[in-house]
Amino acid sequence: MTNLSTLADWQKAAAKSAPNGDLNALNWHTPDGITVKPLYTAADTADLPHTDSLPGFAPYLRGPQATMYAVRPWTIRQYAGFSTAEASNAFYRKALAAGGQGVSVAFDLATHRGYDSDHPRVTGDVGKAGVAIDSVEDMKILFDQIPLDKVSVSMTMNGAVLPVLAGYIVAAEEQGVSQDKLSGTIQNDILKEFMVRNTYIYPPEPSMRIIGDIIEYTAKHMPKFNSISISGYHMQEAGANQALELAFTLADGREYVRTALAKGLDVDEFAGRLSFFWAIGMNFYLEVAKMRAARVLWHRIMTGFNAKSPKSLMLRTHCQTSGWSLTEQDPYNNIVRTTVEAMAAVFGGTQSLHTNSFDEAIALPTEFSSRIARNTQIIIQEETHITSVVDPWAGSYMMESLTNEMLEKAWAIIEEVEAMGGMIKAVDSGWAKLKIEAAAAEKQARIDSGQDVIVGVNKYKLSKEEALADQPEILVIDNVMVRDGQITKLKKIRETRDAVAVKNALQALSDAASSSTVEGQGNLLDLTVKAMRLRATVGEVSDALEVSFGRHRADTQKVTGVYAAAYDQEGDWAKEWDAIKGEINDFAAKQGRRPRVMVSKLGQDGHDRGAKVVATAFADLGFDVDIGPLFQTPEECARQAIENDVHAVGVSTLAAGHKTLIPAIIQALKDQGADDIIVFVGGVIPQQDYAFLYESGVKGIYGPGTPIPACARDVLQQIEKSLAAAK
């Protein structure tokens, strides 16, 4: 039978259901600026390039391997680090026995920032949000009974990348595994740290030298090891939409290739070991399109470097489901979210995948939740038969069209970056960071205003009693016990090693670092391996480099007007916004000045999306807002709050250090005679810790999903109460 219906017939039929008969009202306008239509036809793909390409062949639109998962599924790689090397090792061995196929290491923030566990600045960070690693001895425990010649290891490390990678190399040597047999990936992506994650140590220029030295060393000695994982994950987690994530990540990759070429390497000598790392959120169609577009764009970029080897031209990637999309409210919904995101990663053609656990919006994952996350992947691999077909979205009018739109949108941003002089210039100027922060503020405003639905948060909400009854088991880390144990290990190492030999090795490292920030005399990774063999510590290596490189201090900026713009419409939420602004104006009239708050991050947690969004929204409402620099101690934060004469300090916490750091800031304010300054807290805080924080003196706790206007009104009322009590 011949179908005689036409597009015009469909338009006529659809118009009957469309609001006011307007078909444009059915379009979905994504945060990336891409319009997604409700219907696509052959006309949408008629002139698109590459739609007749095949998997395993340039430009790799349909996947980097010819058979993809039909022969070998993606690697299941669960990212984890549990306080101590012993606890993490036990988790890895269980995960491998239960179907995991690689080890992915999460380090604590003290390690990320190049501090030994006994450093006074990291009191609340040791063993929180990852494993504490101070020396080769910790690395040996971390990989005990894990054959490093057979199991690939991924390490998310950028700031202290030299001592951590060197420690892994030496631990493998002492396990009897030579460097040429090691497989896995070191993240080693410092540019994104300056944009979003902030676990940097040194300024951009010497940091790029470190990257060049690692690429050079691994190309010569570790042919199976990926020398860099160029990460968009943290950009999306910080608020970037898919187009920004794609463009900035590929632009970072271009800079790293240039850095390696400046070392005198041939492009095909190292480019085949570059890999990528994407976040996979709930924007299902665009995530699949993003990954398909990424391979085409990377092929274009590498062709521009005259790469010849197919391995140099193909983009290979690891993916991780979104942590930001997980909700504290109704947390079992997160299992569904993770499953949807995992399927998007698979349909996009990932080479390995980590699935987040449903409880990670509340605390570190438990063994129970980690098993569900891992089994999510195993079920997709074993029960769905999704793996039987290579690139099942190929030929879809909608997907091919979206892929091309994503490609063009990202390429326009990449060319804008090039016009600035490249990604280093875009990062150094602060432009790239502000673009991501503006996207984050806009997204949060859309959620708070109800324009974007989050089930269980701003729609279909549970009652408070049901939500509390459904709280999952929470993993609790005894930070004091972990730190004490690490300090004992450090003391033993320093007492039993050859102190003179270690001093000489560290001096050689400092000398090489000071020789030139561009070329350098001696490879920094080679010299670090030698120092770590002698039992130099992570902190000592970092300090030796800091003597020459210095420690980076970021400028604090915030976007303005972006959050408020989402409320510049009619509706109940717009009226609520205007009402709160009126209350703030009334406060200013009575007090002679506006309410002033300082938004702060304490300890070594550099994830500042929440802090920046809150600062932007509060400023748009009419608060005077100061933003504290990253990595403050409680005493430094209290001093700045007093000097700036603020009414309140808001602390953003994501790394589980709240039970140590929050009481410390309250005590520091009291010690300095400023206990009239109230303290409020937002971020990842288990409800079981609320009572402790309130008893410590906190005036307000605002967990994930709290609408910022509601938070702002409560803070204003607490300030008014404090002022009234002081009279």
Catalytically active residues are: 79, 233-234, 601, 605, 607
Residues whose CB falls within 8 Å of the CB of residue 158, separated by 6 or more in sequence, listed in order = 112, 187, 188, 189, 190, 192, 193, 197, 199, 200
Helices (H), 520-657: 524-533, 538-549, 562-565, 572-591, 609-621, 634-643
Residues contacting residue 565 through CB under 8 Å, at least 6 positions apart? 442, 445
**Residue 491 CB neighbour total at 10 angstroms:** 11
Query: What is the spatial distance between Cα 30 and Cα 440, in angstroms, rounded to a whole number?
Result: 14
Classify residue 599 as left (phi > 0), alpha (psi -120 to 50) or beta.
beta
Residue type, 439: A
Q: Residue for token digits 């990663």? A: 345
d(CA 307, CA 563): 44
Tokens 């089994």: give the residue: 375
Q: DSSP string spanning 435-504?
A: HHHHHHHHHHHHHHTTSS--BTTTBSPPPHHHHHHTPPP-----HHHHHHHHHHHHHHHHHHS-HHHHHH
The answer to whether the CB of 604 falls within 8 A of the CB of 159 is: no
Category of 155 on φ-ψ map: left (φ > 0), alpha (ψ -120 to 50) or beta:
beta
| Cα separation values, 339 from 276, 329, 399, 441, 717, Å | 21, 18, 20, 27, 41
Q: Which residue's entry shows tokens 């047999």?
A: 181
Task: Give me 255's structure tokens.
Answer: 């800079």
Contact 274, 305 (CB under 8 A): no
In this structure, what are the phi and psi dihedrals at residue 247, rounded to the nearest 5 degrees?
-65, -50
Q: Contact, 373 vs 332, CB < 8 A?
A: no
Nearest to residue 36, comparing CAs of 232, 291, 283? 283
Contacts of 599 (CB under 8 A, 6+ apart): 611, 614, 615, 618, 625, 626, 627, 628, 650, 652
Residue 191 φ/ψ region, left for φ over 0, alpha for ψ in the -120 to 50 degree band, beta for the rest: alpha
DSSP characters over 620-652: HHT-EEEEPPTTB-HHHHHHHHHHTT-SEEEEE
- Encoded amino acid at 432, one letter: A
The DSSP bridge pattern shows strands 153-155 and 102-105 to be parallel
Helix (H), strand (E) at residue 375: helix 367-383
* Contact status, residue 342 vs residue 321, Cβ threshold 8 Å: yes
DSSP character string of 221-272: H-TTEESEEEE-HHHHHTT--HHHHHHHHHHHHHHHHHHHHHTT--HHHHGG
Q: Which residues contact 516 (CB under 8 A, 6 or more apart)?
A: none
The 3-state DSSP class for residue 146 equals coil
* Closest C-alpha among 546, 531, 297 to residue 418: 297
Residues for the chain: how many in total?
727
